[in-house]
Structure 1
């Protein structure tokens, strides 16, 4: 049973504040620590291979291993999250990440560096982090009251933005004091997150009575459900396109700074400003989710991104670039919260993991394509034309969001609410 069903009407009318919701705080803090540790280790992998292993090729291999789970594990992971006990799966994720990072730490303390070990550890920890995020997203509605879902997902988005903001300096800073320290730090975050999970009292899923279908059939069920939702189908396509454009923009930012004799420190400062904008957008998103329709937020974000991308073709000052990216991050984080609330509210509890994995796969897949396309475009046309092209493409996506009949299906008519789904689902 989830919190959607278990409380009496008078209890549902006055839920305890999130700051006093013990299980939410435990889940929130554990997931935040796991995300922070994962980000620190991802930053440290190329540093380890280049500065200790003297192998740029090895850095590429390890980076590929860390990202590979996003492409090959995403869909089956979503099905397994809907099939297995989520609490046990979260525990297994932390244990897998802990053992992988402890292995790398022990190897480095012994003065060794074996590329296969580092690559395998990166793949295992990346897979564990991916499964952890999907399972936590699917479990959130079982530890908070339905009226607090907006705020809870907003805090989750802010936590993710903060982990990204702090993880990069944590990973690179620890590496300066000891090449093993970032991986030991990640192991410790997994250990603490594991302890928080063991203290959670509530179930993290509803009852499951029907026998499980084959994994392939369950993955197909999630894909069919997403395809059957006109609003979600078109919105996901637009967001996948925007992810591709943002990956090109990231490369464009770095090249603009380099062409104007900027430093890596300036690129880092741009990232800090962007992270701050993302945190502010996430905090604003919990209020926007209760006041604005998903269609309005999606169209507004796409339009704002197009407007803010165009000046990148004409400016080079790092602080101006940082302000532009900060505005984009604000809109992106706000939209992530609104889209997340909409998805959780209309998705049956039995499909939460699979539906989230479909969206994540599309996003990560398009980001990979964007990295490849960005390199080709920048080499062929330069930063000025590339920035104008991606701004125009983003403007086209915004126009589609305004005229598409499918996007008129908002949260009010796209499907039953979460409480209705929770009461009527048959698993």
Structure 2
């Protein structure tokens, strides 16, 4: 169904009219929200289990980083083609296929670990496959949100989605690490079940999602280029994304630090879940406050403030080996990050035509997260060579440099220029519909 068809369809009382149904009673939004939450829960549970399996098997942070590298590599290799395909394919079918693929991938690890046939190549391949499918799933789900909620509820819906993602980390990582402590195959079984339940939830969504008409499809390269050209003309969005990209690399390098500290101190791997739970609680709180933060401070102030806060908190990780204090510091970082993610997501969804949602979001994700695989690999090498304390200090200095760049950049002027030149989303969609009809 084309974007024009969706826009001219009979009014839906859930999403149209002066009195839209509250999100808590919007059945299709709840199904979409819960389906994505379940698949994120499964992914978080397995993401912590892959490096734990390797670190506790080999005693090397670099070995654990291999799994992190494989999981993050799709952010670099798969993002752009996935964005074009999400705009081309039926978005519901895309999410269903991705969930089914994740079920098969995690089930293969369950069988291998239970049989005692654990091989690095298999774990890296399974991690890469699950990461690739999750890229496609998230892009499709993000593009679908505006089809199940009215424009007035978009900020609240995206805040709920961001909080859902943080809550998935809050629950998934503790569940994954606790399950790993009980039986090394069990977190992957947990992931398989969560992905299967996600598939069933998406099947229950009734609202049609936007998709490009078959006649408008071209070669993949030109379609990817169309999204990149649109983004290239938005200087503010590009600048913000590059700053966040740098911070994401630093955080990815820090991801193994709690597990490495606990391993050095001889503590249980389940303690990683405690740290993740504390951090996730902070992120969920920040996400729920994201709409308020955007209205109160604006996107520019949120990004600058976040980088400054992170520059102070990252080096503080070098001052403690207490799991509770590590969790508290990470929670403070996640709280700020949750608010920034909501504000940036609202800006992107509101300013991007529906027919370009997948491609623009994939380009932003590539820029913002594409180098995370290198961050994960670098983090393992730094921890092995420098130790946890020096690694935190070095990465804190890098975050401080990013904060200085953000303060010195003319972000407010770029945002004002972009808003003056921005074509309303509705007009852009009408023009796109005329070109593709």
TM-score range, shorter chain: 0.7 to 0.9
Give 1:272 shift: 2.4
Q: SS of the residue aligned with 1:409?
A: helix
Q: TM-score, normalised by structure 2?
A: 0.84
Q: Aligned partners of 1:141, 1:367: CA distance in 2, in Å? A: 28
1:295 and 1:401 in contact (8 A); partners too: no
Task: Tell me the residue number matched to 1:113.
Answer: 117
Could you tell which deviates more after superposition, 134-143 or 334-343? 134-143
Task: Tell me the residue number matched to 2:25.
Answer: 20
Residues 257 and 120 of structure 1, relative CA distance in 2, 3 Å threshold: closer
Corresponding position: 1:125 with 2:130: yes
Corresponding position: 1:422 with 2:429: yes
Q: SS of the residue aligned with 1:330?
A: helix
Task: Tell me the residue number matched to 1:217.
Answer: 222
Q: Aligned partners of 2:64, 2:398: CA distance in 1, in Å? A: 33
Q: Aligned partners of 2:117, 2:263: CA distance in 1, in Å? A: 32
Q: Aligned partners of 1:311, 1:49: CA distance in 2, in Å? A: 27
Aligned mate of 1:71, from 70, 76, 81? 76
Give 1:360 shift: 1.9
1:46 and 1:63 in contact (8 A); partners too: yes
Task: Tell me the residue number matched to 2:414.
Answer: 409
Q: Aligned partners of 2:186, 2:75: CA distance in 1, in Å? A: 26
Q: Aligned partners of 2:129, 2:181: CA distance in 1, in Å? A: 25
Corresponding position: 1:296 with 2:301: yes
Q: Trace 1:184-199 onto structure 2 (pairs within 5 A).
A: 184-199=189-204
Structure 2 spans left out of the alignment, 5+ residues: none
Q: Aligned partners of 1:68, 1:21: CA distance in 2, in Å? A: 36
Give 1:201 shift: 1.1
Residues 379 and 103 of structure 1, relative CA distance in 2, 3 Å threshold: closer
Corresponding position: 1:307 with 2:312: yes
Q: Aligned partners of 1:334, 1:128: CA distance in 2, in Å? A: 26
Q: Aligned partners of 2:67, 2:159: CA distance in 1, in Å? A: 32
Give 1:308 shift: 2.5
Q: Trace 1:260-409 onto structure 2 (pairs within 5 A).
A: 267-315=272-320, 317-374=322-379, 387-409=392-414
1:77 and 1:131 in contact (8 A); partners too: yes
Aligned mate of 2:208, from 203, 208, 213? 203
Give 1:300 shift: 1.6
Aligned length: 426
Task: Tell me the residue number matched to 1:242.
Answer: 247
1:76 and 1:215 in contact (8 A); partners too: yes
Q: After superposition, what is the alpha-carbon deviation per residue over 1:48-72, rounded to whole angstroms, capped at 9, x for unaligned?
A: 5677899999866655543332222
Q: Aligned partners of 1:61, 1:86: CA distance in 2, in Å? A: 31
Q: SS of the residue aligned with 2:289?
A: helix
Q: After superposition, what is the alpha-carbon deviation per residue over 1:112-135, rounded to whole angstroms, capped at 9, x for unaligned?
A: 636465554433322222211111
2:169 and 2:277 in contact (8 A); partners too: no
2:70 and 2:373 in contact (8 A); partners too: no
Task: Tell me the residue number matched to 1:173.
Answer: 178
Give 1:76 shift: 0.8
1:308 and 1:328 in contact (8 A); partners too: yes
Q: TM-score, normalised by structure 1?
A: 0.86
Aligned mate of 2:162, from 138, 157, 162? 157
